[in-house]
Amino acid sequence: MTILKKRVEEILNTDYAQYNISSEPSRIDIESAISRCESESRGFQEQLQELNDEWNASASSIQQYCDRMRLYHAQRIAFFVTHGWTDPIELHTDGRTVKDGLHRLKAARYMQLVTVDVTIEGQA
């Protein structure tokens, strides 16, 4: 698969939400996770069942569940801000929508990077 450089501003930044409640971490949430050295190494797609089980076990309401999810997203973005990444962000065939790597994109935005490495689905 060919790795390309793409301007961060050209990639669609999808917000995290569940049950019509935003789980999008603020810049302050991310900064707080970084300053407390609370980063999350578990990938969202690979560990979703485990993460859902944790969030459900510790939440007594949908709002608490979404708060736990927002904290995870802040800590996952903090992980990439502090540790970096080598895998390119994978985009769908439209070349703008993220297929895999939304936390990396949000870390790049947080870090104010101009370009990132990407691959585009279906391109050799």
Give the relative orientation of helices 62-83 and 102-110 as an angle to the nearest 10 degrees: 70
Mean pLDDT of the chain: 94
Give the percent of the chain with pLDDT over 90.
Answer: 83
SS3 112: coil
Q: Please give the pLDDT value at position 42.
A: 95
Residue 9: DSSP 8-state: G
Q: Can you read off the two tokens belonging to residue 59?
A: 């939440």
Confidence (pTM): 0.93
Hey, what amino acid is at 77?
I
Task: At 111, give phi and psi (nearest 5°).
Answer: -80, -5
8-62 pLDDT tens trace: 999 999 999 888 889 999 999 999 999 999 999 999 989 999 998 998 888 889 9
